[in-house]
Structure 1
Amino acid sequence: MKEKWPYYRRRLYFVLLAATFLLGFYSLYVYYRPIISRDWQLLSAVLYGTFKMFLYSPPLGVTADYHWTYEVAKWLAPILTSALVLTALTNRVLHLKNVILNSFGSHILIFGASKQSQAFLQSLKGRDNRFRKTLVSASALSDDAKQDYEKLGAAVYTEDVRMLTAKEREAFSKQVRLSRSEHILFMGDDEADNYQTFLSLLREIDPKEHQTIHLQIETPVLRRYVERALERRKQSEEKYRLLDLRFYSLAGLSIDRLLGQGQAVHFVQPLIDQLSPGDNFLDKLPPVHLFVLGANDLSRELLLRSVNDFVIGRDKIKLTLVDSSVTDFYDDLQYHYPQLSQALELEVHTSLPGRHSFDETARQGDYTALFLNHPNPLVNLQALEYFPPDIPVAFRNEPGLDLREIHKSRQNVIFYGDLSEIMTRQIVLQESLDQAARDFNQRYAEVASILGSGGQPWPELSPVKKQSSRLSAAHAFMKAALLSAGLGQSLPEVRATMARDKAKFNQLVATKQGEDFRDALVAYFRDKPYLEQLSELEHKRWVNSYYVMGFRRGDVKDEVQKTHPCMIEDWAELMGEAFFSCHPEYDLISALSLAGEDHETK
């Protein structure tokens, strides 16, 4: 009821406004009819008098012999006017307060007034939040909507920057602190508007320190255009290297919520539990096999993330996709991600729960986890009945049906689909993931410099390498879980072990070169086989991530032609003839990042 109060309040206001106008009109008509004979003068007097009541100036004196309806209208009219004035005054005071506060501290700038921007601002409300917020809406907002945003701490501006002249855009950019915002988010519902708004503002951004651009764009061709536009800016002006670009979609954020921050481990924990101390998980664990219901955006994002986040061995990820129509989905996937089949063994079935073919598909597979992504939760509920109660499940429930009864018989079910659960600082901004990627890249560059193979600081990395770094950082939790089971140690003990191993590796890097370094690394792996397992696993994950980005094995590194000579899945070849060109020790750095200080990239 509380959420619907603004709607009912507006309805009540307009009902009272209409009733007051009619009462005032009727009472003045009754009063003036005997006095004024001309119809047009009568109408003018009645209308004029009615409007005067709303301007705190009743047209009749207290001694006048008027109808009782006039007395009601005389009181209601100024009250309703005061409500409007008070709302506007409150908005101005709130806006002034937010503008003043925005002059201090870290700043977030949001373009687009939408359900997602409102949910995101709601998540940022609280004393522990360090950000000041500004919201820019291209279309006019009602006073109530403005007040709702201002109460969330966002200074609200109404301006379509695409329609401004160059000087107007420059002045407005300064007003909203465009170049001083730590995060700039384009959260409009229309991705074409987000695209055009970003391009309109790109030349106005004058970064003094690191800034992150978050763009809600799903279409691959639009993403490429944005990347090219920013890359041209970086080549012409050094300052644009301080800009990081992140694309996102609501489907992608939902998968981040399911798999991020170590959540992916939950879905493969039954497999990891099969390990005993001393086991080689690359040989011991069976392939991950996911069952996915629903051919939609959520499932596409899951497919792309699964070949990174669920890598626990040498085998391809297996995935069975079921829906009433999968042909177009499959064709689109093959077209946009031609190398995905190198990392993913995908089966598609045209079926739905309640059909004999669905029963056969459900019972013939030894599934690791279920992802019930159908938009209708009742279809997901029906599908759930086909599977054993101990299997981990992700259950899409956007309408928010009360399905808590499921937990009485199934403990491993995670419900998702609520917008407020994904529009959070942790999921949208991904600050910890980015920091992990930047930290590892620094360590990577240091080792590469010592070994004489280069290395670049974070601002100079290409979008491909930055994305590779983030994907590697996302997999760190899976490595930690595997190592914990393989060594029989708790996670704090694993970090301590990795810290000791890292110190020995640092000494090796500092004292050995060339063939001596390779021989020393081989001996190091022989002494600590779990590190070689983790290094091989990391290389497999890295190759998979490059398959998703459309790369294939080639003679040279070329991000335009999408070729890379180190996309080698044979670890023996990597440690042999490809050692000095592909540097498997960099995969080891990823494993050693579990010590807690460093994180990952390639």
Structure 2
Amino acid sequence: MKQVWWLWNRFVRPGWKKWEWPVVGALALVAFSLGTWGFARKSIENDQPLYWLDILFQSVQLFVLQLSLQSPMPWQLNVARWLAPLVAGYTAVQAVSELLAEEFLGLRLRLWGRGHVVICGLGRKGMILARGFLQCGRRVVVIEQDAENDRVRQCRELGIPVLLGDAAQVRLLARAGADRAECLFAFCGDDGVNADIAVRARSALAGRDGPPLTCVLHLVNPQLHALLQDRELAGGEVGSLQLEFVNTCDLGARVLLEEFPLATGGPAGPPRIVIVGLGGLGESLLVHAARQWKASAAGETALDVVLVDRSAREVSERLLAQYPGLDRVCSLTVLDMDVNSAAFHRAEFLDGLAPDAPPPCVFVCVDDDSLGLSTALALVRRKRQPAPTVVVRMAQETGLAALLGEDALNSGRVHNLHAFGLLDRTCRPDQMLRGVREVLARAIHEQYLRQQREAGVTREQNSSFVPWEDLSEHFRESNRQQADDIAAKLRAVGCAAVPNYNWDEPLFAFTPDEVERLARMEHERWMAAKEKAGWRPGPTKSETLKTHTCLVPYDDLSEDEREKDRSAVRQIPALLQRIGFGVHRLR
């Protein structure tokens, strides 16, 4: 049934909504014409001539079923007597549904049951997210305050119910079925309004049973986003609400570095990255690149970073004050330069690399799409070796960004130029549900892959030895559960995870007694999760039979197996450091 609903909304409904009334009008005209033709023929065949006004009147009566027709009758009249009431009935139903739209919408939402998505705020982000969930076959309801917003019409044409009003009203959240929803997204343009929605959502969840509602708050302010992320990591569950916080620039920087990872460097030195434009995305990109480089094997040498902006020095000084040690992780070249200046077009900041050095990567993070594209093209057209890879930030992958599709880039006129649609890449269901918990789960799996690689394990020997994207949902959830338990482990030894701004601070280390205590907790957590999934002790590990040799008390494990649990505990500070957190001892 979900597949049929998805096909209807994806392919049929948009076209039908566009042509609905022209088609209905055409069918009404056909019914009327056939009726007129049929009555004229019938009068001639029965030798009972009718005036043309009588024929027209009888044709109109076909639509209201006020005629008693006797057989035989011409085929035209036979078709018209069925088609006319069908057209009239469809029109009447549509008219009544418009008049009773609010009541029908409430009934429709109640019939949905559980598991739908509520999106508050129908700006560009909210609209892209609503389309994304719809394309995934998910049911979506939107709350929007501005009745004149053109996206309200677009949503309704797609079959997405829209409730008009203030999303911070408990009554409206209840009408949207927040108590039965799986996710709620607060995507209004104001951080205070989004926070208010989350607060009021708690009241709308009275009596909710089952798992907590995942409430994702979009925060425009990057400092507020960083401040609240530690609450999410510590367990953002408040009653029946699981709070997650997202910032499109922060998330966009993560996605950018996944799609265009830092080169590893080599004998010729570290790679060079150039960040043009130090707005929200440019700042986040610098911080994430530095953090990623510090955690890598090559992190002992400084990453070569060039910052270009009209206020580059002012921004860099603020970031250096905010992140002590940043200038030791990165070798910063700061250029107060306008992208329209002759100095920028000479692009001398791309010079000075060794012949065997990796090509520089330039991230153009200017907020204006047209200016960003012209800036990127100016850099690409400079003939340099090695040729830089240039990535230009666009708001969406439409308009100017569509001109930079892979076909155009491979045509020979433009090389090494890539468009990154910030909103299209970040406002997707899979990305927006990627809170700190998901990021930490990914980091845990990446650490596991490194260990398995060092041990010489192959994919044939271990089905979970695959990238996160190819990992089964069972193993993904296992990593998420391990991430969820980190806050509990830290509390057990009087510690907490907090945002790490001081990169000069040495990596936290647990005492031997703490390691042993937390290793025991980790094994007990793992055992409970396995037993809940139906696993049992056995002489061999078998995913088919769901048996495992380690489903025994911690004290009965071999020393090698206990050391695996201890190793997982010792790695917690490093895992947290990779996502920008540190361990702080509370007592």
TM-score w.r.t. length of structure 2: 0.54
User: How far, CA to CA, are the matches of 1:353 and 1:425 in structure 2?
Assistant: 37
Residue 160 in 1 paired to residue 166 in 2? yes
Q: Match for residue 346 of structure 1?
A: 332
**CA contact under 8 A between 2:326 and 2:503: conserved in structure 1?**
no
Pairing of 1:363-402 with structure 2 (within 5 A): 363-365=351-353, 368-374=360-366, 375=368, 376=371, 377-386=373-382, 387-388=384-385, 391-398=388-395, 400=400, 402=403
Q: 2:274 aligns with which of 288, 291, 297?
A: 291
The Cα shift of 1:293 comes to 1.3
User: How far, CA to CA, are the matches of 2:271 and 2:231 in structure 1?
Assistant: 39
Q: Secondary structure at the match of 1:321?
A: strand
Pairing of 1:241-280 with structure 2 (within 5 A): 243-260=241-258, 263-265=259-261, 267-268=262-263, 271=264
User: How far, CA to CA, are the matches of 1:425 and 1:107 in structure 2?
Assistant: 13
Measured against aligned partners, the alpha-carbon deviations of 1:362-391 in whole angstroms (never above 9, x if no partner) come to: 112455422122331101210223454654
Q: 1:321 aligns with which of 288, 291, 307?
A: 307
- Summarize the Cα distance change of 1:390–1:588 in structure 2 as closer, same or farther, 3 Å threshold: farther
Measured against aligned partners, the alpha-carbon deviations of 1:222-249 in whole angstroms (never above 9, x if no partner) come to: 4488679999997xxxx72664332222
**CA contact under 8 A between 1:254 and 1:416: conserved in structure 2?**
no
- Summarize the Cα distance change of 1:580–1:175 in structure 2 as closer, same or farther, 3 Å threshold: same
Backbone CA RMSD of aligned residues: 5.3
Q: 1:150 aligns with which of 151, 156, 159?
A: 156
One-letter amino acid of the counterpart of residue 355, structure 1: A
Pairing of 1:400-549 with structure 2 (within 5 A): 400=400, 402-403=403-404, 405-409=408-412, 412-417=416-421, 419-430=423-434, 466=436, 470-471=439-440, 473-474=442-443, 492=459
Q: Match for residue 104 of structure 1?
A: 113
- Summarize the Cα distance change of 1:563–1:328 in structure 2 as closer, same or farther, 3 Å threshold: closer
**CA contact under 8 A between 2:222 and 2:250: conserved in structure 1?**
no
**CA contact under 8 A between 2:380 and 2:416: conserved in structure 1?**
no
One-letter amino acid of the counterpart of residue 154, structure 1: I
Q: 1:301 aligns with which of 284, 288, 304?
A: 284
**CA contact under 8 A between 1:121 and 1:152: conserved in structure 2?**
no
User: How far, CA to CA, are the matches of 1:359 and 1:225 in structure 2?
Assistant: 37
The Cα shift of 1:188 comes to 1.1
One-letter amino acid of the counterpart of residue 348, structure 2: E
The Cα shift of 1:471 comes to 4.5
Q: 1:139 aligns with which of 129, 132, 146?
A: 146
One-letter amino acid of the counterpart of residue 302, structure 1: L
- Summarize the Cα distance change of 1:179–1:346 in structure 2 as closer, same or farther, 3 Å threshold: farther
Question: Which structure 2 residue ranges, 5 or more long, are not aligned?
Answer: 1-13, 19-90, 467-482, 484-492, 520-562, 573-577
Q: Match for residue 201 of structure 2?
A: 201
User: How far, CA to CA, are the matches of 1:382 and 1:498 in structure 2?
Assistant: 43
Number of residue pairs matched by the alignment? 398
Q: Secondary structure at the match of 1:328?
A: helix
User: How far, CA to CA, are the matches of 1:299 and 1:200 in structure 2?
Assistant: 34
User: How far, CA to CA, are the matches of 2:392 and 2:379 in structure 1?
Assistant: 10
More helix per residue: 1
User: How far, CA to CA, are the matches of 2:139 and 2:154 in structure 1?
Assistant: 16
Q: 2:134 aligns with which of 122, 125, 143?
A: 125
Q: Secondary structure at the match of 2:270?
A: coil
One-letter amino acid of the counterpart of residue 470, structure 1: V
User: How far, CA to CA, are the matches of 1:565 and 1:361 in structure 2?
Assistant: 27
Q: Secondary structure at the match of 1:179?
A: coil
The Cα shift of 1:219 comes to 2.2
User: How far, CA to CA, are the matches of 1:569 and 1:204 in structure 2?
Assistant: 43
Q: Match for residue 80 of structure 2?
A: none
The Cα shift of 1:193 comes to 2.3
Pairing of 1:174-253 with structure 2 (within 5 A): 174-206=174-206, 208=209, 209-219=211-221, 222-223=224-225, 240=238, 243-253=241-251
**CA contact under 8 A between 1:94 and 1:151: conserved in structure 2?**
no
**CA contact under 8 A between 2:254 and 2:285: conserved in structure 1?**
no
**CA contact under 8 A between 1:393 and 1:412: conserved in structure 2?**
yes
User: How far, CA to CA, are the matches of 2:461 and 2:254 in structure 1?
Assistant: 25
The Cα shift of 1:110 comes to 1.2
Measured against aligned partners, the alpha-carbon deviations of 1:167-213 in whole angstroms (never above 9, x if no partner) come to: xx2x4443222233221111112233223333343444456413322
The Cα shift of 1:417 comes to 2.4
The Cα shift of 1:295 comes to 1.4
One-letter amino acid of the counterpart of residue 165, structure 2: E
**CA contact under 8 A between 2:202 and 2:240: conserved in structure 1?**
no
One-letter amino acid of the counterpart of residue 198, structure 1: A
The Cα shift of 1:308 comes to 4.0
User: How far, CA to CA, are the matches of 1:123 and 1:561 in structure 2?
Assistant: 31
User: How far, CA to CA, are the matches of 2:450 and 2:227 in structure 1?
Assistant: 39
- Summarize the Cα distance change of 1:105–1:576 in structure 2 as closer, same or farther, 3 Å threshold: closer
- Summarize the Cα distance change of 1:590–1:560 in structure 2 as closer, same or farther, 3 Å threshold: closer
One-letter amino acid of the counterpart of residue 148, structure 1: Q
User: How far, CA to CA, are the matches of 1:586 and 1:253 in structure 2?
Assistant: 31
One-letter amino acid of the counterpart of residue 360, structure 1: E
**CA contact under 8 A between 2:126 and 2:187: conserved in structure 1?**
yes
- Summarize the Cα distance change of 1:562–1:120 in structure 2 as closer, same or farther, 3 Å threshold: closer
- Summarize the Cα distance change of 1:488–1:471 in structure 2 as closer, same or farther, 3 Å threshold: same
Q: Secondary structure at the match of 2:347?
A: helix
The Cα shift of 1:567 comes to 5.7
Q: Secondary structure at the match of 2:296?
A: coil
Q: Match for residue 556 of structure 2?
A: none
One-letter amino acid of the counterpart of residue 391, structure 2: A
- Summarize the Cα distance change of 1:565–1:135 in structure 2 as closer, same or farther, 3 Å threshold: closer
Pairing of 1:332-343 with structure 2 (within 5 A): 332-338=318-324, 340-341=326-327, 343=329
**CA contact under 8 A between 2:202 and 2:241: conserved in structure 1?**
no
Pairing of 1:74-85 with structure 2 (within 5 A): none
- Summarize the Cα distance change of 1:120–1:322 in structure 2 as closer, same or farther, 3 Å threshold: same
Measured against aligned partners, the alpha-carbon deviations of 1:341-374 in whole angstroms (never above 9, x if no partner) come to: 4544433212237534753211124554221223
**CA contact under 8 A between 2:515 and 2:570: conserved in structure 1?**
no
- Summarize the Cα distance change of 1:132–1:382 in structure 2 as closer, same or farther, 3 Å threshold: same
One-letter amino acid of the counterpart of residue 420, structure 2: Y
**CA contact under 8 A between 2:218 and 2:246: conserved in structure 1?**
yes
Q: 1:362 aligns with which of 336, 350, 366?
A: 350
One-letter amino acid of the counterpart of residue 303, structure 1: L
